[in-house]
Amino acid sequence: MLYSSITGTGPNLVLLHGWGFNSELFDNLVNEYKDRYRITTIDLPGHGQSDDVDGGLDDWCNEIIKILPKNPILLGWSLGGLLAIHVASQVPTTKLILVASTPNFVQSDDWPYGIDADNFMQFSDALQLNLSKGLKRFVSLQTQDKVQLKTLNQSIDQYPATTKALNQGLDILLTTDLVSEFEQLEIPVEVILGDHDTLVPHRINRWYDKINVRTQVLNTGHLPFLHKGFTL
């Protein structure tokens, strides 16, 4: 069973975090917008306080769908964005917001907007050698707010992701191509990117522009919502 929490009043907004983290990553965002939205945060399978789930993308998304409110706005960061795309293709959704995310993370001959698979594996291998230390260092490169860093570091230590979930998540990131699925969505989509992001190169905004998807590029890295310029 997946852990979820609901805060605030207004239209339903669901937040899906990324690989290795948990929903507490969104605490500042929740506090800022709880007077405008009824916000549901969800810990991905094997992350935070959620149990492991067997399988891959479909199985993870099926568990998410079970606890979704009606017609939500879906916001997905990084891996959470990939999941949000797949969920939005299956259930009624008001709007999709992708934050530092893409329908295909890995570069190929016909998809120049991802990152090299070998580089991605080196990054993930380095993180997994000491997940807590690796995630803390990653976050420290994204924000200089000491209060924010302390809170995030405590959350990383308190709720480490399981090895099974980390491996599943990496497999989803490395093997999932939802480009066609994304292009078929018939809902409003907004994309927020960081111009210093090394995992989702901001040049993908060229592709989003081609298919008439609104993009916003902020002066940030892979965690745009930690910065003051981020708005919904």
CATH at 38: 3.40.50.1820
Q: Which residue has the tokens 């070998």?
A: 118
pLDDT given for residue 144 in this prediction:
67
Domain assignment present for 111: yes
Domain assignment present for 51: yes
Domain assignment present for 101: yes
Distance CA 31, CA 131 (A): 27
Q: Does 180 qualify as catalytic in the annotation?
A: no
Q: Which range of residues forms the domain containing residue 151?
A: 4-226
Distance CA 230, CA 224 (A): 6
Q: Does 86 qualify as catalytic in the annotation?
A: no
pLDDT digits (tens, 9 = 90+) for 86-102: 999 999 999 999 999 99
Domain assignment present for 113: yes
pLDDT given for residue 148 in this prediction:
74
pLDDT digits (tens, 9 = 90+) for 171-185: 999 999 999 999 999
pLDDT given for residue 52 in this prediction:
98
112 Cβ contact list (under 8 Å, min separation 6): none
Domain assignment present for 231: no
Catalytic residue among 4, 78, 124, 155: 78
Total domains present in the chain:
1
Q: Which residue has the tokens 């890995």?
A: 106
Distance CA 178, CA 102 (A): 9
Domain assignment present for 173: yes
Model pTM above 0.85: yes
pLDDT given for residue 191 in this prediction:
97
Q: What percent of the chain has pLDDT over 90?
A: 68
Domain assignment present for 232: no
List, in sequence order, every residue forming a beta bridge with 6; answer none if it has no partner: 40
pLDDT at 217 over 80: yes
pLDDT higher at 126 or 14: 14
pLDDT higher at 123 or 177: 177
Domain assignment present for 97: yes
Catalytic residue among 23, 43, 89, 197: 197
Closest among 43, 76, 64, 70 to 190, alpha carbons compared: 76
Q: Does 222 qualify as catalytic in the annotation?
A: yes
